[in-house]
Amino acid sequence: MAKDMITERSVDYSAWYNGIVKHAGLAENSPVKGCMIIKPYGFAIWEKMRDQLDKMFKETGHVNAYFPMFIPKSFLSKEAKHVEGFAKECAVVTHHRLMNDPNGDGVVVDPTAKLEEELIVRPTSETIIWNTYKDWIQSYRDLPLLINQWANVVRWELKTRAFLRTTEFLWQEGHTAHSKQQEAIDETTMILDLYAKFAEEWMAMPVVKGVKTANERFAGADDTYTIEALMQDGKALQSGTSHFLGQNFAKAFDVRFLNEGNKEEYVWATSWGVSTRLMGGLIMTHSDDDGLVLPPNLAPIQVVIVPIPKPNEVINEAVDKIIADLKAKGISVKYDMDKKKRPGFKFNEYELKGVPVRIAVGKRDLAENKVEIKRRDTMEVSNASLDGLADHIEQLLADIQTNLLVKAKNFRTELTTEVDDFDTFKDVIANKGGFVSAHWDGTTETELKIKELTKATIRCIPLDAKEEEGKCVFTGKPSNKRVLFAKAY
């Protein structure tokens, strides 16, 4: 039973999370500190996310390219805030050769192979890309440049958690260049909408779209937009960010263009990214004490068929027909014919792995022209006729996708509290958790003070926050809209 392997959420949420990651076969720690191994099942989910995002980027006019993973150290320094933000977590390449250890076995760094200038393993690629854009952009005819890259990046982390915070992670980073400020701002928010759409329609993970405070902004951005999701333990997860970079990188790398009036201007920039962190969000939005729960749109196996008690000719023939009908609808299906494992064992295994629908096919049921169906999200068991079974399953998968989103939205609604005094604020953050919607006076000082006292940070100023006269929950100073506070991953 999954329950024997995985700590229950109510006992220890963090141990539960690690249990899901391990026992569903998603990832594991590697011998390299802070770097994870993404196992085949976990990677198959990530591939589905990546392929869908890639399709959405291309549909909105973006193209992919690839830039070097190494960044000359001096590049990083060119944008003052950028280097400040990343210098402390850089993996630095200093040598390019090993040699036999003159004093023993093995190999040591060859001291004669020291690099003239150290190379940084990219923590993000603004610097190397804007250094390149300088050559690619001369006139407004070269704009906009709408480029994305799928890549690995490295940010040295001391405390790591599979998917949520790892030293090396996989992501995509979009880097666009525009001739007009408004066009760059529109790109930033268009991508934010795209991320939110992906999160809701594919991950069934509701998100709040908002803008970050100055204190939480990306290092080098004028504005950072974010999608924030709420995990089951009441903590927020920053799930994707889209940055309006103004002309900061254009100025740092001297990227100018001739506008239509033949005058020279600096180029306007955006950058945006989502990463394997989304896998953590997916796990913590839907999964339960029985294991992973996957929305059908991202499940590598959408339907598993288990013969009861073992495969035989009658069952196989019926299953072949079911498989053909499901595949004709583009539904991915696995038939588990392993004779060494008992049905109950298989049931648990696929529940642990979050397969949305299980069909049990037994001889007795077949004689009655039916099969048994279990949906992973609600664990409901029902019988279904063999007639029109594929249509029924197709509808069931759509229902599960919808149900997961509705459930997550309801959870978020319950865990979003409007608060107007600081005592309640502290109490809600400490005991109930979730998003606290409160007035804030707009200063970094207040923001940091609240963080110090409660560990809650401002997740975002929601884009749809309504104008409302109010007083800062901490200082009592005037405020005209509520912001969202929460403890966060």
Query: Residues in the site for a copy of itself, rule: CB under 8 A?
Result: 28, 30-32, 35-40, 43-44, 47, 63-77, 83, 87-100, 105-107, 109, 118-121, 128, 131-132, 135, 147, 151-152, 154, 156, 168, 170
Q: 234's torsion region: left (phi>0), alpha (psi -120 to 50) or beta? A: left
Instruction: Read off the amino acid at residue 107.
Output: V
Minimum distance between the CB of residue 483 and a copy of itself, rounded to whole angstroms?
A: 33
Residue (135 or 387) nearer to a copy of itself, CB: 135
Minimum distance between the CB of residue 175 and a copy of itself, rounded to whole angstroms?
A: 12
Distance of alpha carbon 477 from alpha carbon 454, whole angstroms: 19
Distance of alpha carbon 154 from alpha carbon 208, whole angstroms: 27
Strand partners, 107: 100
The answer to whether 122 and 128 are in contact (CB under 8 A) is: yes
Minimum distance between the CB of residue 199 and a copy of itself, rounded to whole angstroms?
A: 22
The answer to whether 198 and 56 are in contact (CB under 8 A) is: yes
What are the residues whose beta carbons fall under 8 Å from the beta carbon of 320, sequence distance 6 or more? none
Question: DSSP character for 355?
Answer: -
Residue (31 or 431) nearer to a copy of itself, CB: 31
Residue (93 or 366) nearer to a copy of itself, CB: 93
Residue (29 or 443) nearer to a copy of itself, CB: 29
Sort 482 into a burial class: Cβ within 10 Å, 0-12 / 13-18 / 19+. buried
Residue (134 or 471) nearer to a copy of itself, CB: 134
Distance of alpha carbon 239 from alpha carbon 237, whole angstroms: 6
In the three-class reduction of DSSP (H, G, I as helix; E, B as strand; rest coil), residue 427 is classed as helix
Residue (27 or 429) nearer to a copy of itself, CB: 27
Residue (122 or 487) nearer to a copy of itself, CB: 122
The answer to whether 396 and 375 are in contact (CB under 8 A) is: yes
Pairing between strand 381-385 and 333-335? unpaired
